[in-house]
A and B are shown apart, each in its own frame.
Chain A
Amino acid sequence: MNEFAHLLDRLAYEPRRNAKLRMLQDYFTRTPDPERGYALGAMTGTLSFREAKPALIRGLVEERIDPVLFRLSHNYVGDLAETTALIWPTTPLPPSPAEGGGDARVGIGHNNPPPHVPTLAEVVETLATIPKRELPRHLAEWLDALDETGRWALLKLVTGNLRVGVSARLAKTAVGALGGHDADAVEEVWHGLTPPFETLFAWVEGRAERPETLNPAPFRPPMLSHPIEEETDLDRLEPEAFSAEWKWDGIRVQLVGGRDRAGVQVGKVYSRTGEDITGAFPDLAEAITFTGTLDGELLILRERRVQSFNVLQQRLNRKAVTGKLLDEFPAHVRAYDLLTLDGDDLRADPFVERREKLEALVTRLDHARVDISPLVPFADWEALAAARADPASVGAGDDAEAIEGIMLKRRNSPYLPGRPKGPWWKWKREPHVVDAVMMYAQRGHGKRSSFYSDYTFGVWREAPEGGDELVPVGKAYHGFTDAELAKLDRYVRNNTTKRFGPVREVAHGQEAGLVLEIAFEGVQRSTRHKSGVAMRFPRVSRIRWDKPPAEADRIDVLERILARGEREIAPGAALLETDA
């Protein structure tokens, strides 16, 4: 347990992905089964046991420590698990509880043997089996035996608050790397496995066969695309080798159907990372009456019209799936690929063949919630560029607003998990841009921690008291090179007007100020911003050292973009406008 705790401790402070990966691999290599498997379980959220309530932990501490000292300490540290870990007396029950943590240092001798330090495996297996009333006793014994970091990790684990900045995906990547497998290979077998994952480790270390997945509807890692560079890539590609589809502004999902051993149909909806989101989409799950794996885009359709991402987000952000929600935000899948069908793996087949089978399947399903992503006809790249600029002109019709570009797929390409370079390209529509004025700057994190790299920017509007004022509309922290960052950082330091903790106010007005050209994907209503609008994916596209701040854009620019997207939020209003 102490080893695992020290790993978590290091991970918690490490901002870099590659460094985290190295620490994880180092741990998995050095740690035996089943300990490392339970560690993997803890990091992927696949352990299940009875959790301890904060009140129980507070009670255990107050049996040992003067409550006044504990309260002062808790106020200071601010975290119950951490305070407890630090204050826990290193020897069981000191003579006077007023002594405080660790004050009574009693030597360990043969009459006072060192306590047994539990392994993570022991902790997890015990927690899973003991009755509730025995929890305090076990917990106290473990806390006595562990070191400070061990106590912290144990308390985070048993209270269900183990957040260490490692995604399940990263942990799987580290496991796969033990045997030269990528995360996708681990993902393929993952859904049939449970902690402590001994068969998984045996396989990646080359000691056993690949584990058979028992899940009748397993997730398969998706194929991803690369953004296309118009100047360099297009010239090298021959148009006749590619199919084109619209790139929909929804979320990538996988619908998987199969039959379990009892012959009962099972339908699953997975996110692109393999998260099982079936529970949130019962309206889609009921459409999975087939045996196979279908790749597509989750969209909200009303009156057969694709709604904007704003609308989709209103469904995604809900915890409870109510009937009202299902009625107001009906989920659909626009299918674009087929990975398996009736037990056959189609991934090695060329795209055109998979596409034929997909069309046949969607037709056979005949379900209102599943349709096919239409192909966009084009003769050459110029024609496709025109379609991309104006999707409505080539039959996208009312859905044009929900299209964020073009997908190009090589007609003879197999379905390759991951992001292979060459077979799939995305060609996004031009982003919106606005010229805004830098108003505040904040230090970044990790590598950029000494630089002012997060910028809040604003645009002009009429001030209530007359005249013009800048109102903040968003925050951007990328889109510039390291060299540009150094210049921006210097600018912030030399033009600071006020400081609020880590934030600096930067000179901004008609005369003084720096104009940033901000690129973004869309605008949403926002109650959090004073301006009432918020941008999607804002980033700095150019630094306009040359432009006087008085010439930056006005809020009207954003209001107009918002007005275009917003028609879709209220279905009634949308219909009225389209009819007009």
Chain B
Amino acid sequence: MPIRASDLLTLTREGLYCPLGGFHVDPTWPVERALITHGHADHARSGHRHVLATPETLRIMAVRYGADFCDHRQEAPLGEAIRIGEVTVRFAPAGHVLGSAQIAIEREGARVVVSGDYKRAPDPTCLPFEVVPCDVFITEATFGLPVFTHPDTRGEVRKLLDSVRLFPERAHIVGAYALGKAQRVMALLREEGWDRPIHLHGAMEKLTALYKEEGVPLGDTPKVVAAERKDLHGAIVICPPSSIQDLWSRKFPDPVTCFASGWMRVRARARQKGVELPMVISDHSDWPDLCRTIRETGAEEVWVTHGQEDALVHWCGTQGIRAKPLHLLGYGDDGEAEPASTEPGPEKEAVA
């Protein structure tokens, strides 16, 4: 009996599991063997025995969790076929953050693609998304509603630069997730001609250094010295989202609260976070790109891992594509998860 693509993956408590290969993809619990799409904490957890991921993702995990984040690690170069048990896997760029990949799982001509988180919009800090034709496409739906059409990032960065021009005496504090978003914002600022230093919260430092080592030019990015915050008039400062409302950020001169996230598209979300300058910059696909990607893969079946799955499943139905939500728990924790509460996590003053 020929194999069906949908037999290649099942769902266990830990997440997506390939029984023929004996591995999980982005498991949310420690497992024997894990394939990791990208370095965000909700997809890449520590404590697995074997980890297979792109070289960049492995280095990101080592920075976040320490060199001993797993017992055995193996690099998966992009495009290379790797045999695991009775299946072949292949990593392809996902365009989400540095090192992010989709994982194609194949056997006897049947192919499933786990896309992880992905975007189609250009990003100077990582390789662009590559369409991998498949039978079953497993997609996220973080921005799975037609109200989400991400604007051109250049316009969003110009909004920030216009504000710096209008308020040269104030510090602009930009909340951005420490892995990916922060470095993308830095790179975009450089593209728009901002050549002054971009000041970093301490939590940004290691990952930004890693990006630079990986060959992403980000210019001068000094770490903020706590005692010098009050003197940073007209500076652009990047910090984790939890710090924009923290006491840490109040010590800058008359700070303008900015936040770079796809959620900034919805005004109420921006207001709930007390954001004064929302920047709609997302590392996830917007609605048109979700729809386009599903069509381009030619998949007959779509599984939706997390996000606004109802609308995307409905849309697949109108296109004659079978679709089901997986309701995977534990994903969507990468700073672009839907803000569940207005209460930020760490309450203590973050150490700069």
Contact = CB atoms under 8 A, between A and B. Distances in A.
A102 B146 contact: yes
Interface string B250-284: 10001001000000011110110011111000000
Contact of B342 (A13, A78, A501): A501
B315 interface: yes
Contact of A87 (B147, B247, B249, B341): B147
Interface stretch (A65-73, A349-357, A511-519): A65-73
A69 B288 contact: no
A100 B291 contact: yes
Interface in A56-115: 65-66, 68-70, 72-73, 76-79, 82-83, 86-87, 90, 96, 98-103, 105
A103 B276 CA distance: 29
A12 interface: yes
A69 B290 CA distance: 14
B149 A101 contact: yes
Interface residues on B, range: 35 or more
Interface in A134-168: 148
Nearest to A90: B149
A464 interface: no
A23 B310 CA distance: 40
Contact of A100 (B245, B247, B310, B315): B315
Contacts of A499: 343
B245 A449 contact: yes
A69 B266 contact: no
A70 B145 CA distance: 9
Which has the most chain B C-beta neighbours within 10 Å: A15, A65, A87? Answer: A87
A451 B274 CA distance: 12
Nearest to A76: B145
A100 B245 CA distance: 35
Contacts of A77: 147, 266, 268
A499 to B, nearest CB: 7
Nearest to B286: A102
Which has the most chain B C-beta neighbours within 10 Å: A13, A70, A90, A148? Answer: A13
B287 A78 contact: no
Interface string B307-347: 01011001100110000000000000000000001110001
B309 to A, nearest CB: 11
Contacts of A450: 245-247, 249-250
Interface in A391-430: none
A300 B276 CA distance: 43
Nearest to A105: B288
A86 B274 contact: no
Contacts of A99: 291
A102 B288 contact: yes
Nearest to B255: A447
Contacts of A78: 268
Given A15-B276, A103-B287, A502 B343 contact: yes
B287 A501 contact: no
A579 to B, nearest CB: 56
Nearest to A71: B311
B265 A76 contact: no
Contacts of B247: 450-451
A73 B287 CA distance: 11
B96 to A, nearest CB: 21
Interface string A439-455: 00000010101110000
A63 to B, nearest CB: 15
A556 interface: no
Contact of B341 (A12, A15, A66, A501): A501
A23 B276 CA distance: 13
A22 interface: yes
A148 B145 CA distance: 15
A493 B247 CA distance: 12
Nearest to A22: B166
A208 interface: no
A321 interface: no
A502 B268 contact: no
Contacts of B343: 499, 501-502
A22 B168 CA distance: 12
A82 B266 contact: yes
A283 interface: no
A68 B314 contact: yes
Contacts of B341: 501
B318 A73 contact: no
B274 A445 contact: yes
Given A69-B146, A76-B147, A87-B146, A98 B318 contact: yes
Interface string A441-476: 000010101110000000000000000000000000
B148 A86 contact: yes
B147 A26 contact: no
B19 interface: no
Interface string B124-159: 000000000000000000000111110100000000
A241 interface: no
Nearest to A78: B268
Contacts of B275: 13
B146 A73 contact: yes
A371 B166 CA distance: 51
A155 to B, nearest CB: 13
Which has the most chain A C-beta neighbours within 10 Å: B245, B254, B267? Answer: B267
A90 B249 CA distance: 38
A480 to B, nearest CB: 16
A512 to B, nearest CB: 20
Contacts of B291: 99-100, 103
A19 interface: yes
A230 to B, nearest CB: 34
B167 A82 contact: no
B318 A72 contact: no
Nearest to A490: B247
A14 interface: yes
A103 B291 CA distance: 8
A79 B270 CA distance: 14
Given A22-B167, A23-B166, A148 B151 contact: yes
Contacts of A22: 166-167
B145 A73 contact: yes
B147 A98 contact: no
Contacts of A10: 163, 277
Contacts of B254: 447
B287 A100 contact: yes
Nearest to B258: A13
Interface in B214-252: 245-247, 249-250
Interface in A11-29: 12-15, 19, 22-23, 26
Interface of B: 145-149, 151, 163, 166-167, 245-247, 249-250, 254, 257, 265-268, 270-271, 274-278, 287-288, 291-292, 308, 310-311, 314-315, 318-319, 341-343, 347
Given A23-B166, A69-B145, A450-B249, 13 more contacts: A13-B271, A22-B166, A66-B314, A68-B314, A72-B308, A72-B310, A72-B311, A73-B145, A101-B287, A103-B146, A449-B245, A501-B343, A502-B343
Interface of A: 10, 12-15, 19, 22-23, 26, 65-66, 68-70, 72-73, 76-79, 82-83, 86-87, 90, 96, 98-103, 105, 148, 445, 447, 449-451, 493, 499, 501-502
24 contacts: A13-B271, A13-B278, A26-B166, A66-B318, A73-B145, A73-B147, A76-B147, A79-B267, A86-B148, A86-B265, A100-B315, A101-B288, A102-B146, A102-B149, A102-B287, A102-B288, A103-B291, A105-B288, A445-B274, A449-B257, A450-B246, A450-B247, A499-B343, A502-B342
Q: Which 7 A-B pairs have the closest CB atoms?
A: A100-B146, A86-B147, A98-B318, A101-B146, A102-B149, A449-B274, A73-B147
